[in-house]
Every structure is written in structure tokens, then in C-alpha cells.
Amino acid sequence: MRNVAQGPIAWRSELWGSPLRALATVLLLGLLAWAGFHAFEWGVVHAVFRPDADACRAVQHGACWGVVAEKWRPMLFGRFPYEEQWRPAVAVVVLSAVTVLSAWPRSWRWWLAPLWGMALLLFVGLMHGGVAGLSTVPTSRWGGLPLTIGLAVVGLALAFPLALLLAMGRRSEWPVVRTLSASYIELVRGVPLISVLFMASFLLPLLWPAGWQPDVLVRVLMGLTLFVAAYLAEIIRGGLQAVPRGQTEVAMALGFGRWPVQRDIVLPQALRLVVPALTNSVVGTLKDTSLVTVVGLFELTGALGLALGGDPVWRPFYLEGYLFVAAVYWLLCFGLSRYSVWLERRLGTSSA
């Protein structure tokens, strides 16, 4: 209540507390009003919303949102067969629904793991086909939003347990385990993600036995998982170090074993403390999936290039297409950000 009551007073002081602040506020508001007016004029007043390329070309100072109305399906689903695009749509809904359910603390029960297994099987079954009368669609034709969400969600789900082991291994009392964990983390964090994707796509096949090579999507997912795990491990390690050592000593003095102490006392507190940092890593991973375009997988941004690059009629309106893709990314990232704030408050770790 104290922060809420002081909020308007603090804002008034920050914006109008002195002549210099008042002048800066007026200038900033004027700049925002000018930019907002021109953006509204370009994006709404003079914009073309119907899928009419001729009308778009006739407008000199207006947006062509008709390109979104015309191309939204290839933008969102890439090269997936047009008549079968209900399948990736349902797959995204299923995976998103399970993800949202998993974000609710009351659902953190034993049945969540088998639910995730069924959701992933359904996602792969819908995307790949070959079962229940569905036609087979190779992974080379997967793309758009389903590929973006699938790589991010599955990559993070696989990376988190590995990151947990690495974080605990780096704090281990055994020198070999500690050295191996630290070496892996520092090695992976020392190279950019794009190089990891290149190695997973082009170098790993040279190491597999002849005649048996994982699909390129599987290799990219492996590279993304190993890369993200190194960053998550350092975040989790920071949370582990923030838990007072005295709690561990007291719990072990009361008869708790080493692993029960870590599982029931240390880890819950550590993960609560690093919710903002974990959210930041999740947002970064979601956006980093756009890099898979360089190895021939066309996620959301790559699907935009496919949708407009080969169509000379709509090719001039890349800006509107990128703004549409940016809006999709912003909605996903903003939702994650607000969830982080809600989870912090629910777990009682927010400093606001």
C-alpha cells in the first residue's frame, strides 16, 4: 500500500520536480506526440488493409497491411502443405496449452511429466504425419510459428535438467566433476550460437556411422539444447550460491541426507531467486531460434522471407511483413515478461 500511495507523487516529482525536468518532459511528450501522429497516419489513416497489391502501390505514404492479409498463412506456417495447415495450427495450440498449464504452480504435480510426453507425441504426430491417416510431411517443410515455438519449448525443456546437473556439478566437492562441468560451461559460452548450429548441421553428420544420421531438425535441437543449458546452468548456480550455507548445515545436522537437502530446501529457494534471470534466458532462446534459418530451417522470420522473396507482387512490402512478425515476437516475449512478474509475486520474491 505504501508503494501504491507514493506512486503518483514519485511520478510527479520525476517529471515536473524542477524546471529542467519539466522542460525535458515537455520536449519528450512533444516528440512522442509527433512520432505517434505520423505513425498513426502511416499505419491507420492512409493504410491499405485489403489484399490488393495495386491499391498498395498507389498509396505513397501509407502502410500496406494487405500483405499480411494475403500472406499470413505462409508467414505463420512456412512451406507446410496449404491444405494441411490445420495440423501445425492444432499442434501449436496443444503445445502452448500444455506450456501455459505448466506455468501455473498448482499444476506442478507428478502427472505433468506424462502430460508433456503425450503433448510432444501429439505435436510430432500432427507435424510429421504418417499416422492416423495423415500424410507424411518431412521436417524440411516444417516452418513458421510452429517451428519457432517447438524449438524454443522443447529445447528449454531438454536443457533445464542438464543445466541443473551442470550447476550442481560445478559446485561439487569432487574435483573431476567440478572441472568437467566448468569446462563444458565455459567452452559452450565461449562460442556463438550460430557456430554451434553450423557444427550440429554440417560437422556432426561426419562423425555418425555411415547410413545412420539424425534428421537436421534433431541435430539443430541438440545443438540448441546444449548451448542453452550452459547459460541456464550459470543462472541456477547463482541461485544456489545465494541460499545461505547455514540452512544446509542445519538440515544435515537434523538428519537430512545430502540429496534431500538439495531437493527440498536448497533448490526451491534457488529457483525462486532466479526467476527474472530464467525468464530473460527463455526470452533470449525464443528469439535465438531465428538463427536456424542459416542452416535451412525456416522458422517465423525465415518463413517471411519465403513468403515474400519469391513473389514479385508483394515483395516491395517487406516492412509491413517484418512489423507483423515483430508483433508476434513481442506478444510472446511480453507475455513471458508479465508471467515472470506474476510468478515473482506469487512466490514472494518480488522486490517491487
Does the residue 47 lie in any domain?
Answer: no
Q: How many domains does the chain have?
A: 1
Residue in the block written with cell 519539466: 22
Q: Specify if 206 maps to a domain.
A: yes
Instruction: Examine residue 2 and state whether it is found in any structural domain, yes or no.
Output: no
Q: What is the pLDDT of residues 92-113, one digit of tens each?
A: 999 999 999 988 888 888 888 8
Please report whether residue 14 resides in a domain: no
Give the model's pLDDT for residue 7. 60
Residue 18 maps to a domain: no
Average pLDDT over residues 10-14: 76
User: Among 81-90, 212-221, 243-252, which stretch is predicted with the lowest mean pLDDT?
Assistant: 243-252
Burial class (CB in 10 A: 0-12, 13-18, 19+), 303: buried
Percent of the chain past pLDDT 70, that is, above it, reads 96
Domain presence at residue 108: yes
Average pLDDT over residues 13-36: 88
Higher pLDDT, 335 or 172: 335
Mean pLDDT over each residue of the chain, to the nearest integer: 88
- Is residue 140 situated within a structural domain? yes
Cα angle 317, 319, 321 (rounded to 5 degrees) comes to 75
Q: Which three cell numbers stand for residue 164?
A: 541443473
pLDDT at residue 195 is higher than 80: yes
CA-closest candidate to residue 259, choices 185, 168, 181, 182: 168
Long-range contacts of 323-328 (CB under 8 A, 24+ apart): 324/68, 324/72, 324/75, 325/75, 325/300, 325/301, 328/145, 328/300
Q: Which residue range forms the structural domain that includes residue 101?
A: 62-349
Q: Which residue has the cell 563444458?
A: 184
pTM score, whole prediction: 0.87
Q: CA-to-CA distance for 339 and 129, rounded, in angstroms?
A: 33
Residue 1: band (very low, low, confident or very high) from pLDDT cuts 50, 70, 90: very low
Q: Please report, for the domain that includes residue 135, its CATH number.
A: 1.10.3720.10
Judge whether 1 lies within some domain.
no
